Chains A and B, each alone.
Chain A
Amino acid sequence: DTAVSQTPKYLVTQMGNDKSIKCEQNLGHDTMYWYKQDSKKFLKIMFSYNNKELIINETVPNRFSPKSPDKAHLNLHINSLELGDSAVYFCATLGDFQETQYFGPGTRLLVL
């Protein structure tokens, strides 16, 4: 079983649409993250949740709204998609042992 899974793997959509990306983990970890990796390959943290509570919220537009229905899931909903939202989005969890983060395979979002 995949430890951290994301769906969909690829997402192509039009500007202005609303879309969601789902993340699920079976590691039992309390903390989950969303990262964005842009075309220049810089990987930046967007949000983190600990036990369904928002902990970190970087300067991300309000169009991005994470939702954690339970400890095993952290979904990312994006409203009014823009061209600049095109990127690879990674979900990650934080292990119990000193900052070891486990990343999902990524969701490649292309906004046309």
Chain B
Amino acid sequence: DAKTTQPTSMDCAEGRAANLPCNHSTISGNEYVYWYRQIHSQGPQYIIHGLKNNETNEMASLIITEDRKSSTLILPHATLRDTAVYYCIVRVEVETSGSRLTFGEGTQLTVNP
């Protein structure tokens, strides 16, 4: 799986948009970009994923650059409950039985009141 690089930590004001960047310059054409987050003392939680096109769901938006070498997760109106470690993961789709997620160090997002 392609290696990802994320900032160690970021701060955001409550109510503002949080933009979390991720570099994945060695991503292959068939590798997806996934985002998970881990709120303190909880299990990781799926947020969103994409291949080429930008994606949006009820939690966040995912913007993938045209060359696919980087992406940005956007939380449009961050709340205090969004404080968590955010993981960017890239991986290829395989037979589900052999699938695995390789977590990096992630970005600690702190939303401040």
Contacts and interface: CB of A to CB of B under 8 A. Distances in A.
B43 A92 contact: yes
Contacts of B21: none
Interface string A32-46: 010000000111110
A99 interface: yes
Contacts of A30: 96-97
Nearest to A4: B43
Interface residues of A, number: 26
A-B pairs, top 3 by smallest CB distance, nearest first, are A103-B43, A50-B97, A43-B103
Given A42-B105, A94-B96, A99-B93, A105 B42 contact: yes
Given A106-B41, A106-B43, A101 B103 contact: no
Interface string A84-110: 000000101010101111111110000
A71 B76 CA distance: 38
B22 interface: no
A74 to B, nearest CB: 14
Nearest to B85: A41
Interface in B82-98: 85, 91, 93, 96-98
Given A98-B32, A99-B91, 19 more contacts: A31-B96, A31-B99, A33-B100, A41-B105, A42-B105, A45-B100, A45-B102, A48-B98, A90-B43, A90-B44, A92-B44, A98-B93, A99-B99, A101-B36, A101-B101, A102-B46, A104-B43, A105-B43, A106-B42
Contacts of A94: 96, 99
A106 B45 CA distance: 12
Contacts of A99: 32, 34, 49, 91, 93, 96, 99, 101
Interface string B46-79: 1001000000000000000000000000000000
